Chain A
């Protein structure tokens, strides 16, 4: 018997994608790279000012006052004949230095306070946050004036004032992240492991807020510079004689009429350095909050759209449930193939998937995560997430090929004739509208009902799916519904148009056992009433067995076995189906020994094995299995389907 013991250490991680860090991503962006380089240059200039600057910034030369740019003085001289270039260079020391010091102080103090009040919670948090709210309601400049009035003029009070103002921003961020992270299980795990509290706060939680803190710091460095320059300009900050961009600007203001050029060097210095920080901050924010790699991208939740004209003549098929046939159903999926660009090659997440769905029957697609079952459902509605593309195959619905249909045509089919329900009902409802509105509005639009009539119909539907007090609950918001009730409401919404096909993607996975059974029984009942075809997608063999007439077992983007429910489950003809069933603990089997397991894991779509895709994990694999892809023959994608006795699970 295979066992996990031999399996685990052999598993290679070569295919495990290394998470690319935010610093890597930052360096890949030209704009950020430029900003970083420019800032480094600026910092270098400031630090090595005595080496770089041609003159001493205080060297007065009264004979050459207010001169324009020349060979001796590249940016001219100011009112006392001091070299402007040297003053801009030395000014970087003061302006950047004060900004860096104030933001550092703010970051250290603010983050610590925020972490602490977030962790302590309760009274500490409430009181501290009220104080923070009060402080933040005072405009920053007024606040700075107050502090300077208390402590006095000069570079130190200015820096302190800015630090206090910005500390508030850090308190908010740190507390917010702390409140979020405290809910995460790793904090509980650390507590349970006996790590001391300061270790948990600073060693465990703090690293997880580096992202937001870095973004904030970049933005605040820019703002700090502006505020310091502003205060200096007003004569409150740095000494008027000191080389600082703000006070230079103030100086230039006096001689604006005589020598307008004087304001340009310091003005540009301020503008550019602030701009650099802001662009950098924005880029960081994009990277840290933006979408990650497309390959890992999840679909955006799509609402179960609703209703339209009642179905006319029913294209009831009644075709023999022959697993080979791809035609004759109400919905025929044939050779459906979806590729995602990965590197130079495409990764096939779906490869030649074919099945047909007849009116009034339930077809189950079952498989583990990554097998492509959800992709199949999304592709039927033309919702394949980008950059994925349908590269082959067709989806025929009532004579139309949905795989090549335009968005306009698809929109007429979605929700009206083919509806979809999802695992998470909350994702399908808009939280700001009542459940009633979300069922009534599409009813009005598609069925051309009056509001009152639509409301009646909506109440009937909710009542039909077993929501108690349906009429009253129309006015409730989604969050007022429990998980099971919300799932019912979503089913009601999907059924408003009496769709011919219902795609149900893990419709009960998030529900409790008893509720799951109720919802599935409900679907069964509604199906019998409405002669609707259901495509049920699930990882749960129990759910399939309880609901489906026919089933397709998916592995690595292919259907590996298909047939009548009882045939497939009683006498599986593919080793994967059999292994899957064996690996499922049965509540009818008593306290038992080892569970049979499947070694290894599903191969990633960009690195598929030669031959049969299951052969590396298959205990029945022979040489021939590794040579060429195995076609689906007689309902099984296994070369040895005929010779192996795989019954008796």
Chain B
């Protein structure tokens, strides 16, 4: 198998109110998501808040439990690991979070933050570890003196570089970037995106790039999946999805992206108003069955409330979950 990561029909749920102990209802955060990431590839996952994209990333890191479905890393079933995660898997798969002020322990110096991971994965004498640490800092374009700093003493961009160094310390093969640049200013965001690209070219890392920002995802990924309310609704080649969206939700999402081109704004506004006007707001309440997008969908019909549309291939490089195509 050539894929590094295979996610198959992954379903993740949470207890919905009532507390875990009373066995109440469960809220499904992700339903039957499937995708794969190749060696050295960046796979983009876009969606709005509550779409489940972050939950998928956390499940890959085993920070969430899968209720059903499987995750394979190099053919090994991650979902069958049991209570403890093998250290080798911890080494291979890492994560960079959105907000570096939260993902770096405010009480530790940068040096300690990095050294802990190095020591855990490469038990060596302290002197060697210092060298590894400095190499790591250099990789993310920081200097050795940054090791003596507390996270609060660094700028947002520098903190995110430390978070990336933290993820790289174990020499991973897959890094989940969960909104890794969303908290940064435009100029810093560009620096971090470039850095991630450079590291990929140099080290051959694969990324699962999760973001709500369609422009950033497109810049980073060759293939993407669009999520809506826990489901992947469209997936395929990024260029194809962006230039010729098939699923009604993808269309609405792309129409909502505000581009820095004032000339196009009236056309885009018209497009959005049209899509919204077509949406028939009363398609009944949301239930487990049926398409989650139907209440906002301009092309919803009675079938959409009854069965969830299956993923079907549209063209050679695209899969769409919509009854328009099934």
Contact = CB atoms under 8 A, between A and B. Distances in A.
Nearest to B142: A8
Contacts of A194: 85, 87, 90-91, 117, 120-121, 170
B141 A4 contact: yes
Given A194-B121, A513-B253, A590-B218, A545 B261 contact: yes
Given A9-B143, A193-B94, A369-B185, A595 B253 contact: no
A62 interface: no
B142 A9 contact: yes
A300 interface: no
B317 to A, nearest CB: 14
B16 interface: no
Contact of A595 (B91, B142, B190, B218): B190
A193 B268 CA distance: 44
A62 to B, nearest CB: 59
A184 B103 CA distance: 7
Interface string B232-274: 0000001100100000000011111111111101001100110
Interface string B99-140: 100111111100000001100110000000000000000000
B102 A587 contact: no
A186 B152 CA distance: 14
Contact of B48 (A123, A192, A514, A543): A514
A184 B258 CA distance: 32
B218 A368 contact: no
Contact of A188 (B95, B153, B185, B256): B95
B262 A566 contact: yes
Nearest to A566: B262
Interface stretch (A94-102, A391-399, A576-584): A576-584
Interface string A110-127: 000000000001110010
Nearest to B47: A512
Contacts of B259: 542, 545-546, 586-588
B254 A587 contact: yes
Contact of A513 (B105, B186, B257): B257
A592 B187 CA distance: 17
B326 interface: no
B265 A545 contact: yes
Interface string A461-475: 000000010000000
Interface stretch (A42-50, A231-239, A265-273, A515-523): A515-523
B156 to A, nearest CB: 8
Nearest to A580: B186
A331 B169 CA distance: 54
Contacts of B63: 188, 191-192
Interface string B71-104: 0000000000000010100110111011100111
Given A195-B120, A513-B214, A596 B190 contact: yes
Contacts, number: 232
Interface in A502-542: 512-518, 520-521, 524, 539-542
B26 interface: no
A229 B121 CA distance: 53
Contacts of A601: 155, 157, 187-188
B130 to A, nearest CB: 18
Nearest to A187: B105
A264 B170 CA distance: 66
A566 B214 CA distance: 23
Interface in A565-580: 565-566, 569-570, 579-580
Interface stretch (B28-36, B192-200, B301-309): B192-200
Contact of B116 (A192, A193, A513, A516): A193
B222 A591 contact: yes
A200 to B, nearest CB: 10
Interface in A152-195: 184-186, 188-195
Given A516-B258, A598-B187, A208 B153 contact: no
A586 B215 CA distance: 5
Contact of B190 (A4, A199, A517, A591): A4
A204 B190 CA distance: 31
A193 B170 contact: yes
A518 B218 CA distance: 23
B283 to A, nearest CB: 14
A486 interface: no
Contact of A587 (B107, B149, B155, B257): B257
Contacts of A189: 95, 97, 103-104, 163, 166
A518 B277 CA distance: 12
Given A192-B63, A585-B215, A204 B105 contact: yes
A514 B252 contact: yes
A207 interface: yes
B65 interface: no
B49 A512 contact: yes
A122 B222 contact: no
A585 B153 contact: no
Contacts of A518: 256, 272, 276
B77 to A, nearest CB: 19
Nearest to B105: A186
Most chain B beta-carbon contacts within 10 A, residue among A186, A368, A468, A584: A186
B150 interface: yes
A208 B272 contact: no
B258 A524 contact: no
Contacts of A3: 194
A13 B149 contact: yes
A594 interface: yes
Contacts of B90: 192-194
A597 interface: yes
Given A521-B269, A545-B261, A590 B239 contact: yes
A512 B229 CA distance: 13
A544 interface: yes
Contacts of B260: 541-542, 544-545, 569, 581, 584, 586
Given A4-B190, A540-B258, A584-B215, A188 B103 contact: yes
A210 B222 CA distance: 46
B231 interface: no
A588 B254 CA distance: 10
B193 to A, nearest CB: 6
A589 interface: yes
A188 B104 CA distance: 10
Interface string A2-28: 011101110101001111000000000
B189 interface: yes
A207 B153 contact: no
Contacts of B153: 13, 16-19
Contact of A184 (B98, B102, B189, B193): B102
A126 to B, nearest CB: 6
A19 B218 contact: no
Contact of A517 (B212, B242, B261, B272): B272
B319 interface: no
A546 B61 CA distance: 38
A582 to B, nearest CB: 8
Given A518-B276, A601-B187, 5 more contacts: A122-B20, A542-B260, A543-B258, A548-B262, A565-B262
11 contacts: A4-B191, A7-B191, A122-B20, A188-B103, A191-B61, A192-B95, A195-B116, A468-B281, A520-B258, A539-B186, A591-B219
User: 3 tightest CB-CB pairs across the interface, nearest first?
Assistant: A194-B90, A542-B258, A8-B141
Interface of B: 20-21, 48-49, 58, 61, 63, 85, 87, 90-91, 93-95, 97-99, 102-108, 116-117, 120-121, 141-143, 145-146, 149-150, 152-155, 157-158, 161, 163, 166, 169-170, 185-191, 193-195, 197-198, 212, 214-216, 218-222, 238-239, 242, 252-263, 265, 268-269, 272-273, 276, 281
Interface of A: 3-5, 7-9, 11, 13, 16-19, 121-123, 126, 184-186, 188-195, 199, 203-204, 207-208, 210, 368-369, 468, 483, 512-518, 520-521, 524, 539-548, 565-566, 569-570, 579-581, 583-598, 601
